[in-house]
Structures are given as C-alpha cells and as structure tokens.
Amino acid sequence: MIKRKRLGQHFLTSNTIAKSIVSEATISKNDVVFELGTGLGILTPLLCENAKKVISIDTDKELYEKAKSHFSNINNLSIEFGDGFKRQDVFSIFVSNLPYSKSKEAIEWLAITPFSHGVIMVQKEFAEKLLTKSAKCRRSISIIANYAFEIEKFLDVGQKNFSPPPNVESVVLKITKKQSVEKDLIHVVNKMFSYRRKTIQNIFKQFGKETVIVKRLDDLSGDEIIDLAKQILKR
C-alpha cells in the first residue's frame, strides 16, 4: 500500500464515487481534462472515455511510472511527472482528489488559470470555509474562491472510501469559473486577512494607502473586500 502522508494524500478506492465524480464533470468530446494527482489511477481511465484529451500529472515518481506503464494503451491520455501548479497546460475541465495540504494552493492556482469548470475532492473542513455564510468563519481563500467560482457541494465521502483512511471526512465540490483573478489581487487579499482584527483604515496604512473606512473585514461582503483589494492595487 502506498502512503503519501507528507502530502496529506489518501487514495480513493471506491469505483462508485469515482464514476460519480467523472459524471459530474460532464466531459464532452471537445474537452481537454487536466487531472492533478494521478494517484493510483482510479479516475484516469474514466476521464478518458469521453474526453478529447486527458492530461494527468503526479509529483510522485513511482506513481507516475506505474500509471505510464498501466495506461500505455490509452491514446487520448498524456501521463506527466511534475508539479501541476507550475505548468501552463490549456484545458477546459479540472478534476482532482486534492491532497489536503494542497487545497488552498490549488484554489489560488485555479483562480488564476482559465478553464470552464471542475470537480474537486477536499477535506470537509476546507469545504466549509469555502461555503460558509458567516463573516467570522471566512478566510482569505473563502473570498478568493467565491469571487472566482460558483461553488456547489456535490457529495460527502466517508473515510472508508480511502486507503489509507483519513481521520477526517471529505467532500466533493463542483466549481464553475466566473472570472479569472490576478495573482497580485490574491496576494493583497491574503495580506488583508493577516490584519483582519484591524480597521480597514489601519489595513490600508499597512499598504501605504489611505481611506476613511473604519469598518473591519468581518463587516464587509466578499465583493466589498475584493473592491478594497483592487483599490489598494491602484498605483
């Protein structure tokens, strides 16, 4: 059994759930699918059934070699080795059972990257941060994700569906791209939340800017926070 606890990775073993994920991705013959984390390859051949092309990438050399050998007969599949976040592949659909430790990084990367929609599996606690309606429970990633995507909870996945079983529950989300976000804007929103206890007036001072707003981040909507971040970015 392969374990990648250093990456927070637990491998999906349920074919039923794998088929549900691929079905929710609504792949057509015109779509290029980008799969981040080939893993044991439970999703990979299913993704290839309807896609024009599937690009599947993994950072684990052993998993990459096994997948390349095992799926060598699939003509519309490209198995790659490396860090998917550092690539610039063109794709329309994103599918991934994300390593828990990479969820925030993945959402920020997807916010910058042009694509149509995707299906991702994340830790339940992380999904709740993205879907929360409570201002006090929001994090910077909540603001960024909801600005960039429409997010819909699709499926709860229990621990018994993984090897090794995680200590937490997982959730499958459908994300539909609304708009791409500039990397600088993501940086500013993250930095704003590092000062979330301060007033907006004091947050602006951290960037060498001025405003008369004395509210705090928890008093503002996500769109209002994005608008303030854009003001901070103005020269």
Q: Which residue has the tokens 């990397």?
A: 183
Q: Which residue has the tokens 């499926």?
A: 155
What is the CA 196 to chain-centroid distance, rounded? 23
pLDDT value, residue 98: 85
Tell whether 49 and 97 lie within a shared domain. yes
pTM of the predicted structure, to 2 decimals = 0.93
Tell whether 148 and 65 lie within a shared domain. yes
User: Are residues 42 and 15 in contact, defined by beta-carbon separation less than 8 angstroms?
Assistant: yes
pLDDT value, residue 99: 83
**Alpha-carbon distance values, 124 to 129, 153, 202 (Å):** 9, 10, 34
Tell whether 158 and 43 lie within a shared domain. yes
Read off the pLDDT band of 5 (50, 70, 90): very low
Rounded-to-10 torsion of CA 70, 73, 77, 79? 40
Strands 93-97 and 32-36: parallel
Provide the domain count of the chain: 2
Q: Other CB atoms closer than 10 Å to residue 179's CB: what's the count?
A: 9
Q: What's the mean pLDDT when you consider all of the chain?
A: 94
Tell whether 93 and 197 lie within a shared domain. no
Tell whether 60 and 139 lie within a shared domain. yes
pLDDT digits (tens, 9 = 90+) for 173-221: 999 999 999 999 999 999 999 999 999 999 999 999 999 999 999 999 9
Tell whether 110 and 221 lie within a shared domain. no
Tell whether 139 and 209 lie within a shared domain. no
Tell whether 12 and 82 lie within a shared domain. yes
| Structure token digits, residue 154 | 């699709």
Tell whether 115 and 203 lie within a shared domain. no
Q: Which domain holds residue 220?
A: 185-233
Tell whether 209 and 192 lie within a shared domain. yes
Give the separation between CA 33 and CA 25, rounded to whole angstroms: 9
Tell whether 167 and 190 lie within a shared domain. no
